[in-house]
Amino acid sequence: MVNSSGPQRGSDRTGGASASTRKCTQHCGAMSAPAEDARRVFAETFGGDEPHIAVFAPGRVNLIGEHTDYNGGFVLPMALPLITVTVGSPRDDGKICIVTTAQGADEPHKVEFETPSVDRPLTPGTPKWANYVKGVIQHYRAGPIPGFNAVIATSVPLGGGLSSSASLEVASYTFMQQLCQDDGDLVQKALACQKAEHTFAGVPCGIMDQFISVMGREGHALLIDCRSLEVKPLPLKDPKLSVLITNSNVRHELTGSEYPTRRKQCEEAAKALGKLTLRDASMEDLEAKKENLSEVCYRRARHVISEIERTTKAAEALENGNYQLFGKLMVESHNSLRDDYEVSCPELDELVSIAVEIPGVYGSRMTGGGFGGCTVTLLETSVAERTKQHIQVTNACDQINYPEIGQICCLQWNQPTVCCVRCLTNVH
């Protein structure tokens, strides 16, 4: 299986997975289950043949730096061992047939269409999940692309705020690279996947999700400058430190009006401040020209400007092993997202409140675009199990009619690779 992630800079010839990736794929259920599912469905759908190509790309969790990427700011995500797998084989009749096994994907789960040409480009349509793949095919940076059969499987929860869409796009692009090699430029690969989401899925996202799925490094978070696209890897290998991801099971959708509205409000605020982007603005600039902004645009700008500052401080804290400060900044980030950016929801607020009650939890916040999805919690490894149990019990006793909590995933670094993930599935 070919891993989409590669060196930080240079070309991506996708020759094959590293030894650590192969080992992880063989021994970690979170990595191998989607591959086995995809291969099984491929054989069932396409006459028992084994696929010639198998690739994967990771989802991500953003530790801090939310809604800053499309404002030219900083983000601090890490790639996850939750992955999207694409398996398939070329065909010689100019047709493309794709099947998804993803739980929650809209119907139909099988699509067939002709390969694109100058006179016959692909266009978005239904089902929605296929638009992400079509967009990547249309914007792929080499060609012509032959016909192919493919099956997609994923362990990244759809609508969970863990970048299932970027994982699908990057896996699709990596699959295209095996059919028709491009120049291997990693940055351009991420940008092509972002363009696919803009034009075919209708989401004006920043570059973070595609960038971390392409560039993610094992055992590291990446501080990404979303203006210059420079990357600084930050080691996450302290065995005493864990990251807990809790799925609220409130599925978020970014293709509605709220996400584009937030981006437009940020652009309006930057213009009122006389700045190209909010990355260029300070809190002093914002306060000085507060009267030029609507109350809503003022609060949106206040979140972005303060979040960019929090992210750079958090990166420094992580480098210095100051987890207390990092956790404090996470909670401040959540409060800002809840109050100023207004993208949280009661379920996420409750999960954050429950988590921070436990001694040994440094901090917690919503992660992803918002309106549902997951929380991310930084905590001592020694209290990880207790925290998971506390979340389960408290949620079960809550009188509010919340959906059942989904997967709780704890990433720990007392094992050789970040891909050693322990998950509690179907938590009630």
Listed in sequence order, the DSSP H helices in 244-320 are 258-272, 283-288, 295-319
Whether 107 and 43 have beta carbons less than 8 Å apart is answered as no
Helix or strand run (H / E) with residue 410? strand 408-412
Annotated catalytic residue 209: yes
Q: Which residues contact 378 (CB under 8 A, 6 or more apart)?
A: 63, 241, 242, 243, 244, 323, 326, 327, 330, 361, 362, 363, 364
Distances (CA, A) of 237 to 279, 298, 334, 377, 410: 30, 39, 25, 16, 14
Whether 306 and 318 have beta carbons less than 8 Å apart is answered as no
Backbone angles phi, psi at 270, to 5 degrees: -60, -40
For strands 241-247 and 147-154, give the pairing.
unpaired
Dist. CA 16–CA 343, nearest whole Å? 40
The answer to whether the Cα torsion of 24, 58, 94, 16 is positive or negative is negative
Residue 321: both structure tokens together: 């092993």
Dist. CA 74–CA 306, nearest whole Å? 11
| Among 37, 69, 182, 209, the one annotated catalytic | 209
Q: Determine the longest span between alpha carbons in the chain, in angstroms.
A: 68
Helix or strand run (H / E) with residue 168? helix 164-179
Dist. CA 267–CA 276, nearest whole Å? 8
Tell me whether residue 382 is exposed, middle or buried, using C-beta atoms within 10 angstroms of its C-beta: 0 to 12, 13 to 18, 19 or more.
exposed
Only one residue has tokens 């970027």, namely 166
Catalytic residues, which ones? 209
